[in-house]
Amino acid sequence: MLRINRRNFVKNTSLITLSSLISQTLIMKALANNSLRIYSVNVAKVTNNWNEMSEKANVPIAFYPKKGSSKEFLQLFSKVGGGQKLYDAISDNGGNQEDLLFETESIVTLDTSRIKNWKNLIPQYKEGNFAADTIRNKNGEIVAVPYISNADSLAYNKEKVGADIDSWDALFDSQFKGYASLQNEPGPTLSTTALYLKETGKQDIIDPSNLSKSELKGVCEFLIDKKKKGQFKTFWNNFDNGVDLLVSEQVLVSSCWEPIAVIATKKGADIHYGTMKEGHQTWNNVWMLTKGGKDRGQEDNFYKLMDLYLSPWFGARTLSMLGFTPQMIGVHDYVKTNPSEFDKNKEEIIAQRLKNKAKRFAVKGNSWQNLYPQELVSYQNWWKKIQAA
């Protein structure tokens, strides 16, 4: 007859528990050997290919290009969308996406103590600062890691224009009639126009990133009037289109992403990216760990990859190659101490870009990107009217 006393019971139970823990650890380690499946955009890569990013981070990576709109992104990672079953790490705009994703239990809170380069994060993300909420959920818990950001501005051909430009007024000035361009997207274009109208006193607007119905009407009627008078050459549709319009000199002034200006300059055009006195649309892109990724044992791989994204190695490259704002301190020092990677000319360009960015981020009129304004349906309806005008 089996005799079970307290000592044997505790001993046997402890062995079973230990065995279970060991088995669980082995399972998690085995799962971690699988590739970290990331759903993102190619601007997150600063090497020739993703294999090189994988080697630098010492993390097996399987890259899946992100497609579709922000709405489709949220649908994919809703409770019924299945996205978290397919992907371990995802990237998108911070500011309100992370709140919606956390509410649907698609992403998890992060343990920043496991990211050794977290200490490098720029001060804008500290609690109470202007970008703090973009990496936290509504409870104040960190759920995202920023890797690029910017304050979008105006690109202009200085050789043809003959001077520097510091106001959005150039887009609407008759001297550039037929040579101006705006992005073919309601969010950035309506926000930028609203910034201009608000700061120049041409229209009463409370928040350029969250227009009321009456504010929206005024902004869109202004754009429709300008469009009908032939002010705009076109509304650019994608990155290559934006670059080609500037390089071909079909467009002399254009609201655009900074990488468009950077690449247009590399192609030989005298393109400058200004600081607008009325303000800019600011934004960031962040990485998030899905609940499925955590369940599949990918936390270690995720945190190792985040270390790379918060390293000056990455920050220097994303700034040099595409003009995005680094999210960590120490980039200038890294560039200076690695002359084999950045020659004197590149060092000077990077230093100037950092100064220009500091100026743009300091403008009081800046407004944070809002993908989901309260009157979203009205935005969409008015945008159709602008396109049809």
CATH number assigned to the domain comprising residue 133: 3.40.190.10
Q: Does a structural domain hold residue 5?
A: no
- How far is 107 from 294, CA to CA, in rounded Å? 9
Is 179 in the same domain as 100?
A: no
Q: Does a structural domain hold residue 60?
A: yes
Helices 376-388 & 213-228, crossing angle to 10 degrees?
A: 10
Q: Does a structural domain hold residue 64?
A: yes
Q: Which amino acid is located at 174 in the chain?
A: S
Q: How many domains in the chain? A: 2
Q: 228 is written with which tokens?
A: 């009908």
In this prediction, residue 275 carries a pLDDT of 98
Q: Does a structural domain hold residue 378?
A: yes
Strand partners, 328: 121
In this prediction, residue 281 carries a pLDDT of 95
In this prediction, residue 386 carries a pLDDT of 98
218, 224, 229, 234: CA torsion to nearest 10: 130
Is 135 in the same domain as 186?
A: no
Is 133 in the same domain as 79?
A: yes
Q: Does a structural domain hold residue 87?
A: yes
- How far is 342 from 336, CA to CA, in rounded Å? 8
CB 156 within 8 A of CB 274: yes
CB 191 within 8 A of CB 208: yes
CB 259 within 8 A of CB 324: yes
In this prediction, residue 147 carries a pLDDT of 98
In this prediction, residue 33 carries a pLDDT of 73
Q: How are beta strands 180-183 and 367-368 bridged, if at all? A: unpaired
Q: Does a structural domain hold residue 377?
A: yes
Q: Which of 263, 292, 310 is a domain's end point?
A: 310
Which residue is listed with tokens 């960190």? Answer: 142
Is 64 in the same domain as 197?
A: no
pTM (2 d.p.)? 0.88
pLDDT tens sequence for the chain (389 residues): 434 444 444 445 445 445 444 544 444 444 457 999 999 999 999 999 999 999 999 999 999 999 888 889 999 998 888 898 999 999 999 878 899 999 999 999 999 999 999 999 999 999 999 999 999 999 999 999 999 999 999 999 999 999 999 999 999 999 999 999 999 999 999 999 999 999 999 999 999 999 999 999 999 999 999 999 999 999 999 999 999 999 999 999 999 999 999 999 999 999 999 999 999 999 999 999 999 999 999 999 999 999 999 999 999 999 999 999 999 999 999 999 999 999 999 999 999 999 999 999 999 999 999 888 999 999 999 999 999 99
Is 264 in the same domain as 180?
A: yes
- How far is 210 from 216, CA to CA, in rounded Å? 9
Q: How are beta strands 367-368 and 281-289 bridged, if at all? A: parallel
Is 382 in the same domain as 272?
A: yes
Is 136 in the same domain as 233?
A: no
In this prediction, residue 10 carries a pLDDT of 43
Residues with Cβ within 8 Å of residue 137, at least 6 apart in sequence: 98, 99, 102, 109, 143
Give the residue from 104, 44, 73, 142 showing the smallest Cα distance to 291.
104
CB 98 within 8 A of CB 107: yes
Is 133 in the same domain as 164?
A: no
- The parent domain of residue 273 ranges over 150-280+365-388
Is 189 in the same domain as 130?
A: no
Is 373 in the same domain as 242?
A: yes
In this prediction, residue 32 carries a pLDDT of 52
Residues with Cβ within 8 Å of residue 72, at least 6 apart in sequence: none
CA distances in angstroms from 229 to 20, 173, 175, 190, 224, listed in the order given = 74, 11, 13, 18, 9
Is 272 in the same domain as 382?
A: yes
Q: Does a structural domain hold residue 254?
A: yes
Q: Does a structural domain hold residue 360?
A: no
Cβ count near 59 (within 10 Å): 23
Is 215 in the same domain as 304?
A: no
